[in-house]
Amino acid sequence: MRAAFFLSIVALALAGCHSQQPASGPVSSASTPQTKVEISHKVTESILGLPFYPGSKEKGSQSSVMETDADTTIIYDATVAAPMQKVADFYMSKLAGGHLGSKFPTSMLVEGALKNGSSVTIEVAKYSPTETEFEITVHRNKKPAAAPSGPS
Provide the pLDDT confidence category of residue 121 given band limits of 50, 70 and 90: very high
Eight-state DSSP code of residue 89: H
* pTM of the entire predicted model: 0.72
pLDDT of residue 28: 53
Provide the pLDDT confidence category of residue 30 given band limits of 50, 70 and 90: low
Provide the pLDDT confidence category of residue 46 given band limits of 50, 70 and 90: very high
Q: Are 21 and 110 in contact (CB under 8 A)?
A: no
Q: Are 134 and 87 in contact (CB under 8 A)?
A: yes
The candidate with the shortest Cα–Cα distance to 39, out of 31, 50, 118, is: 31
**All structural domains of the chain:** 41-141 (3.30.310)
pLDDT of residue 45: 95
Provide the pLDDT confidence category of residue 22 given band limits of 50, 70 and 90: very low
pLDDT at 114 over 70: yes
pLDDT at 24 over 90: no
Q: Higher model confidence: residue 1 or residue 72?
A: 72
pLDDT at 17 over 80: no
Residues 82-97, mean pLDDT to the nearest whole number: 96
pLDDT at 18 over 70: no
- Arithmetic mean of pLDDT over the chain: 78
Q: Which residues contact 62 (CB under 8 A, 6 or more apart)?
A: 75, 77
Provide the pLDDT confidence category of residue 149 given band limits of 50, 70 and 90: low
Residues 3-24, mean pLDDT to the nearest whole number: 38
